[in-house]
Amino acid sequence: MIVTRHNLSEINFSEDGLIPAVAQDFASGEVLMMAWVNQDAVKATLERNRAVFWSRSRQRLWEKGEISGHTLTVLSLHLDCDRDTLLMIVRPHGPACHTGTATCFADTPLTKSHAFTFLANLEDVIEQRMASGDAGSYTNRLVAEGPKRLAQKVGEEGLETALALTAGDDDEARNEAADLLFHLAVALKARGLSLEEVVDELRRRHETR
């Protein structure tokens, strides 16, 4: 069941008013962390669109990243079949674990799709650079040159990638493909689009075949 402000009464909180909440990365599917929530924490999460939990030791609400800045943007909340466990589908902004690792359950990613998590993180970095206005940033210099220059860079990198795939070695092909992905991500972000929307389009095409 998807949790909204209108069905909070259907959550089966325990006698102490808590249920476990599991945060899952929307891009990779990795389980990032587990903490506890009460009704106020769920309400705050829905209001802020950021993960808020209940600290049993401090007896207060705490927002993930309130000190580190490594917040979790909440895309949706789901209850399990018994309605006593909460699943948070999130977009992480930095490591989820207080030790500095991406997940609280392993020092390295648990899934093969963790590379796609980095693409989401790369988009966050691009967005932060654009918001900073730092004139020394390569990203900002590209954006400042306008959409035609960005399109030209994507075209150049696409051609170089094609040539590397045709006549280059594996290292050259990887490097050129990385340059292409970066410049494409910048061009999309400058236009107000995201790689996620591109993936959604690919998914839509696959599902309608």
Q: Which domains does the chain have, with CATH numbers?
A: 8-92 (3.10.20.810), 114-207 (1.10.287.1080)
Question: Taking 60 as the threshold, does the pLDDT of residue 109 lie above it?
Answer: no
- Whether the per-residue pLDDT at 207 is higher than 70: the answer is yes
User: Using CA atoms, how far apart are residues 60 and 54, in angstroms rounded to an integer?
Assistant: 6
- For the chain, what is the mean pLDDT? 91
* pLDDT above 60 for 113: no
Q: What is the pLDDT of residue 88?
A: 98
Q: Considering the entire predicted model, what is its pTM?
A: 0.61
Q: Tell me the pLDDT band of 30, cut-offs 50, 70 and 90.
A: confident
